[in-house]
Amino acid sequence: MIEDINMQSRRKLLVGSATTLSAAGLAVVLGSTALPRAARAASGNAAQDIQLLNAALGLEHEGIAAYQLGAESKLLKPDVLKVAVTFQGHHKQHRDDLVAAITKLGGKPVAAKSNFDYAKELNAASLKSQTDVLRLALKLETGATNAYLGVIPSLDQSDLYLFAARVAGDEAFHAAVLGSVLGEPIPEKAPLFG
C-alpha cells in the first residue's frame, strides 16, 4: 500500500489536510443555502447532478488507484514517489468532497472497484518503467482536467461550478508537473485545456 511507504508523520499531515479541506470544500460545493436532502432528492435537476458527481467520483477512484499501482510497481524513484503520494492525497480529498456532496444531495456515492479491476482497465501490465507510469498519470490528469471543465455547463447547481473548476485546477497542476518531469514541450497556444 502506498501509505505503508510513507512515514507516520506524513500520513498524519495528509489526513489532517484532507479533513480540513473536505469541510471547507463542502461549504463551497453546496453553500449555506443548500436545500435539505429530501428536497434535493425530489428534484430532477438534483438527481442529474448526482449522476454527474458520481461519474466524477468514479474518476477520482480510478486516479487514486492509478497512483497506488504506480507506487506499488517499484518503478518510481523516491523523489518521484513522494510527488505521486502527494497527488494521490489530492485525489483522496476530491473523493471525500464528492462523497459529501453526493450524500448531501440525497444520492448514494459510487463505490471504488478493486485495484485488480483498475489494473486491468488501465493495462497496468504494460508499465515497465518510471516513464511509463508517469505517462499514464499524465494522460489521466490531462483527461481529468478536461472532464471537469467539460462537465461544468451540464451541472444544475451553480455552487458546483466553482467546485468543478477548482478540482480542474488541481488536475491541471498535476498534469503540468508530470509533463515537466517527462520533458514534454510546453504548448504555445492557449487555452491548454477545455
Partner 1 sequence: MAGFVRLAGPAVVAMLSIAAASASPAPSAHAPASPSSASAARGAEIYEAKCGACHSLDQNRIGPKHRGVFGRKAGAVPDFPYTAALKKSGIVWNAKTLDTWLQSPVKMVPGTAMGFQLRSAQERADVIAYLKQQSGK
Residues in contact with partner 1 by the rule CB under 8 A? 44, 47-48, 51-52, 54-55, 58-59, 62, 79-80, 82-83, 86, 120-123, 139-140, 142-144, 146-147, 150-151, 153-155, 177, 179-192
Q: How far is the CB of 8 from partner 1 (least distance, A)?
A: 20
Q: How far is the CB of 68 from partner 1 (least distance, A)?
A: 16
Cβ-contact 149, 179 below 8 angstroms: no
Q: How far is the CB of 56 from partner 1 (least distance, A)?
A: 9
Listed in sequence order, the residues at least 6 apart from 187 whose beta carbon sits closer than 8 Å to its beta carbon are none
Nearest-angstrom CA–CA distance, 179 and 126: 20
> Closer to partner 1 at the Cβ: 15 or 182?
182
Q: How far is the CB of 79 from partner 1 (least distance, A)?
A: 5
Nearest-angstrom CA–CA distance, 90 and 94: 6
> Closer to partner 1 at the Cβ: 7 or 32?
7
SS (H, E, C) 80-120: HHHHHHHHHHHHHHHHHHHHHHHHHCCCCCCCCCCHHHHHH
